[in-house]
Structure 1
Amino acid sequence: MYPQQVHSYLRQFFTENDCCILGEDHHYLTVQLTVDIDKKIMNRPFYWQYVEATNGEPNPAQVTFITNQTVSAGSLYGEVIHFGSPRMNQLFQATRELGAYVQLFEKVDNEIGQVILTPWLGVNFKVSYCCDRTKEMLYSFGINLLTGIIKEDFHETICTSEFDTVLADNAFHVQYIIKPLRALERLNATVEKIIERDDHSWATEAKKRWQRDQRVLDYFYEEEEDKPECYDIEKKALEEQYDTKIKIEIINGGLFYLY
């Protein structure tokens, strides 16, 4: 996930959750959090317990998120955020809790007359390659529910448009032909094909590190005919540490009716 993708995700997240954007450039975002979002992402449970217990005036945080540290070159004070960082994972979790599914209609100018909106299913996926080291990637796909055409970087595409939760008076939408559940299966298959074509040397390297550490462990206990319980515990810990897994998670998604 590139810095511009992180920036776009942050901007949409805070805008949709009524957090005022106080300042912005292509490499940072300064945001006034709401009480609800502060509670979800700022890790201040004792502060909020105190405020609620004393009926005090809430003071949600104002935060500057630096989405591209190389551009700011240290001249800007704030929190560096990137894909895989703890704060980014908190935002993904908050997104799931606040509403992983939406239905939105693109806003259209009343002056252009009657328009037809086309249904798309948009889904953001997180793929994690897990062993003793973790690599995470974000994929955003949209599928046209009339034609079946799949578009990559769908999130970036719709970020340039404005949406509403209700259909405009001068617009109507076409009923989808491809059912959303079937469309989701096709998007899942698309992500799986990407994984199949990817370089999986990371798994081979993890196995080599596992074997190396196992040899070291065996060396320390080689003179003991009956291995003690601690040997089995350490061996199991190595297995859990180096065991390779690929996780596919849906961060969020929804139906988007586009002009």
Structure 2
Amino acid sequence: MPINNLKKFLIDYFIINQCTIIENEKNKITVKLTQDLDEKLMNRPFYWHYMKKLNKIGEPKKLTINLGSEQNPQADGEWIHFGSPRLHQIFNHIEEQGKYVRFFEKIKSSNQTPLNPWLVLNLKINYLGENNKEEIVSLGLQLINGAIYSNFMEKIKQYSFDKNCHDYCYPITPLIKQESAVNRVYKFIHHYLKNQELEWARKSNDRLQKEMELLEYFFNEASSSNLSTIDQEKKLLKDRLEPKIKIDIINGGYFYVTNTTNKNILANA
């Protein structure tokens, strides 16, 4: 990610994560971390585990950052620069945050308005074999009635969403819990894959068998000293040609929509 002003980037990061900026000098920032960010950044798992076990409120740390152009042993705080482990830790946290989102439909209302929960998962299906290919699938699971629909991001692109829930709106508690919801999505995907054309897998498997036969032919007179070589070659062939399907989650999250939008999605499924 291109960053022109590292100090501004870090201040924005801490503010977005609801930390308090205690000190903001030319080359130094001191922040009071939240518990969540303390757990993510400060490597104190035993402390927080102990606090939670005793049902006590822990004390998040303060973090002082030195942004000088070079490390100064006399300067207060931790020196952060491009390439420093702490900055990469922050990058990883931002990437983790971006992978799972929680959005509420943006509406204007002066009445109490319920919002219906959907779990949305965007998946990449990798078809691996002689000729690799991939497919992007967007699925939405209605967390009240359990209905699942494909091309979900296309269905909701006309609506506006925000990270914050409108004052007069309230999210309906899902009847289907997260673990069960994800399992339902994967069952849906497996059913989808069973109904796909499998010619690519047959061709890849045929190619694998021919390559195996050719390998056996060349090593037909092999002595025990090079049997390990044959096994290695067979493993390489299987890794390259054996047909298989790999599913990766690109991103996902919870989308809360009004009754009207919920009906429109269901009607246009």
Q: TM-score, normalised by structure 1?
A: 0.58
The residue aligned with 1:243 is: 242
The residue aligned with 1:101 is: 100
Residues 13-92 of structure 1: matches in 2 within 5 Å? 34=3
Separation in structure 2 between the aligned mates of residue 95 and residue 194 of structure 1, nearest angstrom: 33
Residues 146-225 of structure 1: matches in 2 within 5 Å? 146-224=144-222
Separation in structure 2 between the aligned mates of residue 130 and residue 196 of structure 1, nearest angstrom: 16
The residue aligned with 1:9 is: none
Amino acid at match of 1:153: N
Superposition deviation, residue 251 in structure 1: 1.8
Any idea what SS the aligned residue of 1:222 has?
coil
For 1:73-101, what per-residue CA distance to the aligned partner results, in whole angstroms no more than 9, with x for missing partners?
Answer: xxxxxxxxxxxxxxxxxxxx999634322
Percentage identity across paired residues of the two chains:
32
Superposition deviation, residue 219 in structure 1: 3.2
Alpha-carbon spacing, 1:224–1:186, altered in 2? closer, same or farther (3 Å): closer
Q: Is the 8 A contact 1:210 1:239 kept in 2?
A: yes
Superposition deviation, residue 162 in structure 1: 1.9
For 1:15-53, what per-residue CA distance to the aligned partner results, in whole angstroms no more than 9, with x for missing partners?
Answer: xxxx9xxxxxxxxxxxxx5569xxxxxxxxxxxxxxx99
- Gapped regions of structure 1 (runs ≥ 5): 1-18, 20-32, 37-51, 56-92
Alpha-carbon spacing, 1:236–1:175, altered in 2? closer, same or farther (3 Å): closer
Alpha-carbon spacing, 1:224–1:53, altered in 2? closer, same or farther (3 Å): farther
Alpha-carbon spacing, 1:183–1:147, altered in 2? closer, same or farther (3 Å): same
The residue aligned with 2:256 is: 257
RMSD over aligned Cα atoms = 3.0
2:134 to 133, 136, 157: 136
Q: Is the 8 A contact 2:119 2:253 kept in 1?
A: yes
Separation in structure 1 between the aligned mates of residue 3 and residue 181 of structure 2, nearest angstrom: 35
Any idea what SS the aligned residue of 1:249 has?
strand
Superposition deviation, residue 166 in structure 1: 1.6
For 1:162-204, what per-residue CA distance to the aligned partner results, in whole angstroms no more than 9, with x for missing partners?
Answer: 2222211122222222223222221111111001111122222
The residue aligned with 2:124 is: 126
Amino acid at match of 2:142: N
Separation in structure 2 between the aligned mates of residue 211 and residue 197 of structure 1, nearest angstrom: 25
Q: Is the 8 A contact 2:130 2:207 kept in 1?
A: no
Separation in structure 2 between the aligned mates of residue 191 and residue 34 of structure 1, nearest angstrom: 38
Separation in structure 1 between the aligned mates of residue 248 and residue 123 of structure 2, nearest angstrom: 6
Q: TM-score, normalised by structure 2?
A: 0.56
Report how many aligned residue pairs link the two structures.
Answer: 176
Q: Is the 8 A contact 1:96 1:251 kept in 2?
A: no
Separation in structure 2 between the aligned mates of residue 206 and residue 215 of structure 1, nearest angstrom: 14
Alpha-carbon spacing, 1:104–1:215, altered in 2? closer, same or farther (3 Å): same
